[in-house]
Amino acid sequence: MTINPSDKIILEGMQFYGYHGVHAEERTLGQSFIVDIEIVLDLRPAGLSDDIGDTVSYSVIHAIVKGEVEGPPKSLLESLAEGIAQKVISNDLVASTKVRVRKANPPIKGAVLSTAGIEIYRTKNCDF
């Protein structure tokens, strides 16, 4: 399968409340998480057919992210992002995904910063 790596679905700034973190306070009080995702897939079939069946629905992507962030607590953002990526990449149409997960106003003693986070990239074996 040859896919144009420039074809992407992008959802930015999805915000959810979750209970992830290493510290007990994070798991008890919870906090806001911001997730951005890019999904590489061939958008040509959907562009030609105008049929949602030829692409991945934004609603499906949002539901996956929401389910992971609002689901069972994880200690690490890395684990949270990996769960999102694995569910997204399991779709047959998806070639790769980039997932960025950030904590809003992270609880780091003595630090003032708006977000702290991680970004991962996962791909299937295919020709680009």
Q: Which domains does the chain have, with CATH numbers?
A: 8-123 (3.30.1130.10)
CA distance 10 to 8: 6
* Per-residue confidence in pLDDT tens, the chain, 128 aa: 566 778 999 999 999 999 999 988 889 999 999 999 999 999 999 999 999 999 999 999 999 999 999 999 999 999 999 999 999 999 999 999 999 999 998 777 787 888 899 999 999 865 44
Q: Please state the pTM of the whole predicted model.
A: 0.90
CA distance 128 to 121: 15
- Residues tagged active-site: 103
